Structure 1
Amino acid sequence: MSTSSVPRPEPAAPSGPLRRPALPQAVRHRVPHGALRALALFAAVRLAGIVAVVFTNHLAGHPLFRSLAHSWDSRWYLHIAAHGYGHLIWITQTGGVQADWAFFPLYPGLIRALTTALPLTPGQAALLIAWAAAGVAAYGLYVLGHHLYGRAVATALVGLWSVLPHAVELTIAYTESLFAALAVWSLYCVLKGRWLWAGSLAALAGLSRPTGFAVAVAVGAAAAHEVLRQRGRVPAGLWAGALLAPLGWFGYVLWVGQQTGDPLGGYFRIQSAWDSRFDFGAGALRFLRALLLHGGGFVYPAALMVVVAGVVLFGLLCLDRAPLVLLVFAGVLVLLVIGGSGSFSSKPRFLLPVFPLLIPPARALARSWRVRPARALLVGGALAVVSLLFGAYVTVVAHSPL
């Protein structure tokens, strides 16, 4: 008999002081292998981003941390947290009346709760929430990526998200990190069949941003697909989760309508004063025409490149046959970015939470790492440098809204 057919015993595990203590089984199942390394990578890149902003503030003679906690929309959130709604308006140059009701309540509510419980200023609380949410979102990205594609793709997914051009907004007092955290965990719960959790997190996402309803749409589409696939024989939790998902967004929109005396259209009238409405891309076409005729410095061409890249990546995601819930979530947000009006410089920020767009390049980067790790490392390093420099520039130097 050939010796190759004889079973070989497994090597004995080391004993005594050389033996690594085993994690409890529950922990091993809950924390995918490699997650801590990916989170350390994410934290290192975003910490470098904070340092870059602080250093640029120093060179510009600005307060070192002011750009982190008091940039553009941050000031509205901090005012709402301190004084509530209905106390701040802004009259634009064209006579539009911008009111604080345009901003959804979850983030300022968390800021208010944290400043009540801890001796923090609103700005400090806002940054702490944003940073913690960014970490939760990064961990969710890893868990979701690991569930679908394995450790290498999950690590690449977290790494790419940390070096996006506008990733600086994950570390300033904005809602992108909070929305991303709620979205990624809601969609992951859909993939795992945890419908009540998916619906509850989608409802919270709907309270975080005007675009938060995209999570509810994705959860509802996945639930409908499951009902059709199972011919109606689905657990009650699925129906409950699907019904819960849109309640946060609809609840706030109806509340604003009640406050303004127009239950159905009040919120959208408030948003129109911010030039924020769905115009089927007419505003984007006007912007493109003006950019071609008159130019737009540096920020606006960069924003256009990011938006075009987002559209291309969505096409690749469709070709990649990603799960339905990810396709719907990404598709709704890409459609809103293309078809929505408003400042074009803000559109890359709206794409920041659309993490499924990074799945195709993450898979390509993971393949490259296996074959040519030096090239993959060079690409990642170059993206990180561009992200840090661009983030510091748009936060401190540029005078266009984020």
Structure 2
Amino acid sequence: MLMNTAETAEVVSLATRALRYIRRESLAAGLLGYSTSRLDTENLGTDNSCNTLVTLSVPIYETLPYVVVLLLPASGFRLFEPFRKSSLSAVQEIRGNNVEKLEEGDHAPSFPRTIQRGLLFQLTELLAVYVLLHKVTSVLFIPGSLSVATSCSSFVPQVLALGAMAGYVGLFVVLYYFARYRNHIMMQIGAFQESDHARNFKRYAAVDSSDKLGSTNTSKKAMAVVRTRLFHATSRGDLDEMREVLEYAKRAGLPNGFPRKYYAAPKIRLKFFAKSCRNPVHVAAYHGNIRALELLEENGFDLAALDKFGRVRFSTGSFFWYFFRFLVKRPSNSDDDKSVSIFHSTLVTPLHCAVATGQLETVRWLLERGVAPGELAQASFRSRRVPPLFLAEHADIARELLLHGADPL
């Protein structure tokens, strides 16, 4: 949900005030940082409490210039743009190349415009986490600072301590609105979850050139090539390459039933960890590519196999929210918990994938071939162990599942 006009004006106003604060504090940080580094401890008298007070205040001033960097994403300069969308022309070109290869009745897969965060913005996120951790650990020294402040008789250290305290509170304010601004931009571009802008668009267009369909010495190496090439070919909806890869698998000596052996459901180890098999059936169901599903079925793939389809992508955004969730409340519609629980695994069926993406015809196709509508996902946490019906957002899909015996309870 996007912010309304009043909320947007409030964010802009707050950002403007934050900019003024940053300019003032940065200048003060430079002058006071230089002054504190040049302080002659002999002028503070023999009272060690004054020296201690200055020592505790200096690190706060040293982190104030970081605020300028945190404000760069809101500066409006293209270089510091937080997020960017993949070009529409690139998506249309890839889709057009695949449509040309389709035969009559083939289904053209969908390729959404993806969102990526800029490199400099990723560095800014890491800096924000560093500043937050720095300020949190500084809390441990506040009681000691208050005790020595009362015993220090010199005026200069006391002024430095008061300025450091104001800067300490101000940094938390800046961090809070940095996170709010980040949320605001995400909502505007439609990236409601961290996983919505952690993907690389190039994965649709290219495959590692080292994975050639040449001769291999062992079936293990051949299977590695098949797994990679078939996964990417299915992602692009390239039926010709899928057929070529499957023919190569036969020439390489892989047994007739290799899909059920090599694409068997992975095991969740130590409750949290599982390795994805990169099953092409899940990819085809996700995109609603029925022709690809038919081709995979003809070659012995299990239409009800479990796999870890949503692999963990540990991005700077996930790292950012892992810490900032304690400071800022997340928007109600960004319910992606990958940033909160990085170490977890969920194994789903192709039917889960088709239901989650609203592929009605694919759901019908799978159900007509006997895929169980009530198969539970396997997951690290009980809340994730749900049947496909719990992922349905379209009435027609929910009705189709219920007609085939899905349990609504």
* TM-score range for the pair, normalised by the shorter chain length: under 0.3
More helix by share: 1
Q: TM-score scaled to structure 1, two decimals?
A: 0.23
With a CA cutoff of 8 Å and minimum separation of 6, indicate the structure with the bigger relative contact order.
1
